[in-house]
Structure 1
Amino acid sequence: RMAWRVYRYDTRWVPPIVVDYLQFLRPDKNPFFKHAEGVYFLSRDAKGRPQGRIAVTVDHNYEEFHGERMGAFGFFEVVKDYAVAQELLDAALEWLREREVEVVRGPLSFSMNHECGLLIEGFNESPLIMMPYNPPYYQEFLERYGFVKAKDLHAYWIDAWKEVPPSALRLAERLQERYGFRIRKVNVRRFNEELERFIAVYNEAWEDNWGFVPLDRDEMVYMAKRLRPLIVPDLALIAEAPDEEPAAVCLSLPDYNQVFRRMGGSLFPLGIFKFYFYSRHISQARLMALGVRRAFRNRGLELLLSLHSLEAGRKRGYHGGELSWTLEDNHAINSFIEKLGGELYKKYRIYEMGLLS
């Protein structure tokens, strides 16, 4: 409950569901730790109250994939006292140096496949589902300690009822006629089969992204089980070639943060009822993953999937949605989103620091 102390007066913060949060942190439950090691540090004040926390990990899959021994810090929360932040970061970096880590990056909770980045622009809006949120002073603390920018991540907002450029609609029609892709929603009754299709696309589609680490099958299954109660079939799309080979995937989620904020982090005794009641009143969504396999790129699948997602959101009565995150230097996708009507409205930063002296 450390975070409750930091955000007690911040109405934009959304409490996590504690039971799920703790399961994710447990090495005996989260398959990430089959190829990673980590430790959690907690700072307490003179009265024994928690005043800061940090997680630090070394992902051996990252080292194998990138040839770099990197450590990561995440789950960073601290009261507005730089001395406490310094104490936590000192402990984290000492642990990494003992393991001969070359560079540390973060916040990564635990990798780029999970929640990542420090909010640096866009504090006037609440976070959407599975996106980070933090006080502005975290940036000051990290930079004062010596961390520098490694990469910025962008979040775009799109008004669901803003007119799509007619040229984009005409192009989508031509692409559909030319390539014959089938865009369909996920069949939740055949969830395991659909998961196999998603796995076939995911690692290939994202392998060139900065900081990417391949997900093994155990992690994919674990992530899918966490997301399954939140998935709405109309917003989970698969693009198939004429021979039914999976070509691309697109996953949007209703912004359940609008629900979670009313649950206060608890499922019981009333949290479950609040979840089902307020889920009917969600007004926005987050497009969180859109990936195209290498063999099917440059055929307009990003456009086709985006338009299908936009239409699905409209049918559900959503007023808009977030497309996040994208890398700041992914100019092709950022330009595409802007042409579709998206507006850059939040920025997140991954920091780094070299540890070799």
Structure 2
Amino acid sequence: MSEYRLKEVSNPRLEKQFLDVVDLIYVNIPQWVRPLDVEISKVFNVNKNKRFLHGNAIRWILFDSQQRPCGRIAAFYDEFTSSSHHQPTGGVGFFECINNQEAANVLFDQAKKWLQLQGMQAMDGPVNFGNRDFFWGCLKEGFHRPLFNMPFNPSYYNDLFTRYGFENYFNQYTYHVLISPESVSPIVHYKAERLKRDPKFTFSNYDKKSNHLIAAEFSEVFNKAWANFPGVRPISTDDATTIIHSLQPIIDPRLIILAHHQHQPIGFFIMIPDLNQIIGKFHGKMNWLNRLRLLYGLKVQKKCSRVIGLIFGVIPEFQGKGIEAGLVKQFEENATQKDFPYTDMEMNWIGDFNPTMMKLVELIGGRIYKTHVTYRYLFDRTLPFERAAILNSNN
């Protein structure tokens, strides 16, 4: 009989324990930054996460024989994304565990059992019950200080997943880029200058006065640019408005670049400051005092020297025509301003199934800095495993 016991998160006390499991796991890892509790809690709030409209989620905490928390896991499914794979596929995420395979197996077994009852035939992990840009993947290489809302974990987590039977579905690369004109390939500059001479194309910074218009343009470009990416859910204008509103306190207009062709949106480059450079001592808490400390550090002290390359997209009919170079060039011009505080960027979440994007980031001086893995576990162990399909240049 196992010495481990599971409890479903069903009340505020257990929810706090679920959040606090990390204190045990990361006590001796100095570069770790605890994610804000509010960022994790809203993932499981039925009033804030629209995935609950067509899916469900559940959380468990693992306790040892002395009733001490020693692990946690969430399981979830979204009817839209689950049906976009070869088999109905759910997810597990927010996984934390001591370095013990038996303990990890108890967590994985429980998640698998619940997902099977929901009709799933596979599970991906560790992933998010939401968009891919946050809390997605298991860090395998590059155990540097984590970015805001990006996953960090001890290296042994990869062994816990693979020993259970998970396999590498795809790698996600984070590229480090020095913000300097010298880092960018002359090819990028050439393409950007050629477009600049064509008045039909314009590149501009975000304008806070046009939130609703920008939300509509963002959703239009996003849905076209990611239409062929399996598992990526379309975004509505209302959803885009909500996202922009939530980011409003931390938005720097120079970090959001928009591309238009004859006044029609065709691409964007969205970055945010890396708030982990400020919130490291918050211990996951965003009370009124820490909120003031965050805004003061961001707006007055300008403590953020690093930006996160969050989303880069161009609609299919304009891909490969230099729009990407134009977006980069506009950002480069912003970076020459005297009060520009950022020195480096981490381009986040570039899948190994997207060689076109990998090549582009290399052209602006990027080098692979971190590697995360999205694992997949097929419930029918007799089925052949297939990695994520490579996207061609027309996707």
User: Same fold by TM-score, threshold 0.5 exceeded?
Assistant: yes
Q: Which residue of 1 aligns with 2:13?
A: none
Identity %: 27
Query: What is the CA distance between 1:174 and its match in structure 2?
Result: 0.8
> Which letter maps to 2:351?
L
Where does 1:105-184 land on structure 2 (aligned, <5 Å)? Answer: 105-115=124-134, 116-123=136-143, 125-161=144-180, 163=182, 164-178=184-198, 180-184=200-204
Aligned to 2:244: 224
Partner of 1:40: 59
What is the Cα deviation at residue 96 of structure 1?
Answer: 1.1
For structure 1, which segment, 288-297 or 314-323, has the greater mean C-alpha deviation from structure 2 after superposition?
314-323
Q: Whole-Å Cα distance in 1 between the matches of residues 199 and 170 of structure 2? A: 35
Could you give the per-residue CA deviations for residues 167-223 of structure 1, whole angstroms, max 9, x where no partner exists? 431221012224631111111122122111111111111122243232345543443
Displaced runs of 4 or more, over 6 A? none
Q: Partner of 1:236 in structure 2?
A: 256
CA distance in structure 2 between the partners assigned to 1:251 and 1:324 by the alignment: 11
1:127 alignment partner, SS class: coil
Who is 1:14 aligned against?
33
User: What does residue 301 of structure 1 align with?
Assistant: 323
Query: For residues 222 and 325 of structure 2, what CA distance do their matches in structure 1 show?
Result: 18
Q: Aligned-pair distance for 1:67? A: 6.3
Shift of the alpha carbon at 1:314? 4.9
8 A Cα contact 2:123 2:378, kept in partner: yes
Q: Which whole-Å deviations, capped at 9, do the CAs of 1:289-313 have from their partners, x for residues lacking one?
A: 0111123222211111122224434
Match of 2:222 in 1: 202
Deviation at 1:134, TM superposition (A): 0.7
CA contact (8 A) 2:142 2:370 kept: yes
Give the structure 2 partner of residue 356 of structure 1: 380
Aligned to 1:319, which of 317, 324, 343? 343
Output the CA distance in 2 between the equivalents of 1:314 and 1:210.
Answer: 38
The verdict on how the C-alpha distance between 1:42 and 1:335 changes in structure 2, with shifts beyond 3 A counting, is same
Amino acid of the structure 2 residue aligned with 1:305: L
Query: Is the contact between residue 160 and residue 314 of structure 1 (CA under 8 Å) also seen in structure 2?
Result: no
Secondary structure of 1:193 counterpart: helix
Q: Which moved more, 1:131-140 or 1:212-221?
A: 212-221
Corresponding position of 2:15: none
| 2:303 counterpart residue number | 281
Does residue 251 of structure 1 match 2:270?
yes
Q: Within 5 Å, which residues of 2 pair with 1:336-347?
A: 336-347=360-371
Query: Does the C-alpha gap of structure 1 residues 254 and 216 become closer, same or farther in structure 2, counting only changes over 3 Å?
Result: same
TM-score normalised by the chain length of structure 1: 0.93
Distance between the aligned counterparts of 1:7 and 1:162, measured in 2? 38
Unaligned runs of 5+ in 2: 1-19, 382-395
Alignment of 1:50-89 (within 5 A): 50-66=69-85, 68-89=87-108
Instruction: State how many pairs are aligned.
Output: 355
Equivalent-residue separation in structure 1 for 2:351 and 2:38 (angstroms): 31
The normalised TM-score by structure 2 is 0.84
Structure 1: how far apart are the matches of 2:336 and 2:25?
Answer: 36
Quick one: structure 1 residues 35 and 179, their matched pair in 2 at CA, closer, same or farther if it must change by over 3 Å? farther
Higher relative contact order (CA 8 A, sep 6+): 1
User: Which range moved further: 65-74 or 185-194?
Assistant: 65-74
CA deviation map 1:242-266 (0-9, x unaligned): 2x11111110011111112132212
| Corresponding residue for residue 90 of structure 1 | 109
The CA deviation string for residues 93-145 of structure 1, in whole angstroms up to 9 with x for no partner, is: 0111122312111111124534211111101x111223211110100111111
Moved more, 177-186 or 59-68: 59-68
Unaligned runs of 5+ in 1: none
- Do 2:55 and 2:76's aligned partners in 1 also have CA atoms closer than 8 Å? yes
